Structure 1
């Protein structure tokens, strides 16, 4: 549940809990307790628990930036209250540096690349996920089909589809259009890379830690025509001389599998836990 939706739903969730179990009993954290809070709730937490120790889990650096600005307007500075911060990506660490946070830790999350195995043989298929940019996605598809430069490729939307089906489509896709937007990391492009797609499109900013010219074809954020041109050029190049793009997609799959697997996540989590426990 994203931050805005969580804020809207919280009163109804609490009401449901009260109806199911009777009046909610007040809870007060002990002196040694540390409340771990998501980044969008820092103002509420500092207000509700002014004496409690806090730890902040930052999954969305953009929400964190807004929440921090809001709390500062109220005279509350999470940097003075939190014992530590956890960030799931490099852009979260960048936000920590921007705010001069010295107690930040990197907890790299996993998108389980083993669920998206690399496939060498592909179909003339271009896939995309429209969730973050639905209007732009429609425009891109309409433009590509109207211009007629896709050399027999068909375009398919991946939406409201079970994970297993998404994996199957990505394994069959030669190209994937990345429509990431304001991401902490953004895993649709990583999933496509793991499966062996040539990824063309936006990094969503946070995706820059894995989506580079060495692993795909990144396009300037929000440059819709630039994305169309880049995809058409990639299709033409692959038809004429596929070796460079094949090398890129193999390298991309290796990078994603090396950096976002479950073992990497578990190792980092245990290391951070030991560090925090010893502090």
Structure 2
């Protein structure tokens, strides 16, 4: 079988060891990559021992399997970076086929004590990352020679501008095991009301614990997104907000430096809380007045999200995975 100049001789098997109905950005990205590769002609499966997740779209169902049989040396197993429970045993066990790690957050990965030597001993042939900054970090910290980038997907058909209103959507749920950042969001809102009382009545809408379609709709109708990224490998929430026509204010979390510029958002260090308050006021004022400068920033944000469109990500996935067979 040929695809894009590459000879496809095995399966790509993504491993999902997480609870069946757990939803996260990393899990969704894994399923989207699997679907794009399947649509491009690759033989792809997703191993979920508990069965098909209830939240998964029907187009994904043909990808699912509860067991994998008839393995060959040409099969590729794609592990997440979270090497715990049975993943920890499986990654270090000799097995037929290639082992690849799709490291969607190096900071998670580092907590499991990986090293170039361990990866070689485990038989891992390739480490993938969602962004250039994350890939370079993996190379520097672990001494890896080559980390390929397979970016996440931002679907512009879902995350699109709608009828806008002066409203702030707030994303601050990252790293919940360390308390997340919700108090920062409350503090920023309180400071905005004190310093700029003219914006006291502007609605704030938190995005946590909402389905993706609802998040997309709220982003699409909101003028501003406060995105408090922290220890991000890329920071897809800010990109989704940009695609939805929001002006983003906040922190890019490190990995967002792949796309964050002074032309497409108001980016601050996490400690610069007052600076974020000032930027929120500037953004709200500009959106309310129809400022040309603000409109240009929003347009630049939409342009920054374009490289993560499904067709562009699909081409990159085909290139990276096609080369794994040599």
Q: Same fold (TM over 0.5)?
A: yes
Alpha-carbon distance, 1:275 to partner? 0.9
TM-score by length of 1: 0.78
Whether the aligned pair in 1 keeps the contact of 2:223 and 2:287 (CA below 8 Å) is no
Quickly say closer, same or farther: Cα 1:192–1:35, change in 2 above 3 A. closer
Matches within 5 A, 1:225-240: 225-238=274-287
CA contact (8 A) 2:225 2:249 kept: yes
Matched residues, number:
258
- What's the offset of the Cα at 1:188? 1.8
CA distance, structure 1, for counterparts of residue 302 and residue 187 of structure 2: 29
Question: What is the CA–CA distance in structure 2 between the aligned matches of 1:47 and 1:274, rounded to whole Å?
Answer: 25
Where does residue 87 of structure 1 map in the other structure? 129
Q: Which residue pairs with 2:118 in the alignment?
A: 77
Of the candidates 69, 80, 101, which is equivalent to residue 38 of structure 1?
80
1:190 to 239, 247, 258: 239
Distance 1:241 1:151, change over 3 A: farther
Cα deviation, residue 233, structure 1: 3.2
Pick which of 260-269 and 35-44 moved more: 35-44
Cα distance in 1 between the residues matched to 2:95 and 2:275: 49
The Cα shift of 1:40 comes to 2.6
TM-score by length of 2: 0.68
Native 8 Å contact 1:79 1:101 kept in 2: no
Shift of residue 150 of structure 1?
2.1
Say if 1:149 and 1:232, in contact at 8 Å, map to a contact too.
no
Over residues 181-207 of structure 1, what are the superposed CA-to-partner deviations in whole Å (9 max), with x where a residue is unaligned? Answer: 111222221111111111110101112
CA displacement at 1:90 relative to structure 2? 1.7
Q: Which runs of 5+ in 2 are unaligned?
A: 1-15, 23-47, 52-66, 175-180
Q: Is the 8 A contact 1:122 1:171 kept in 2?
A: yes
Gaps of 5+ in 1: 18-24
Provide closer, same or farther for how the CA distance between residues 170 and 134 of structure 1 changes in structure 2, counting only shifts above 3 A.
Answer: same
CA distance in 1, matches of 2:248, 2:298: 8
Match of 1:273 in 2: 321
What's the counterpart of residue 162 of structure 1? 211
Please point out which of 141, 144, 154 is paired with 1:111.
Answer: 154
The structure with the larger Rg is 1
Alignment match, 1:137: 185
Instruction: Name the CA shift for 1:206/1:28 in 2 (closer, same or farther; >3 Å).
Output: same
Superposition CA RMSD, Å: 3.3
In 2: Cα distance, 1:50 partner to 1:114 partner: 40
1:86–1:105 contact (8 Å) kept in structure 2 = yes
User: Whose strand fraction is larger, Structure 1's or Structure 2's?
Assistant: 2
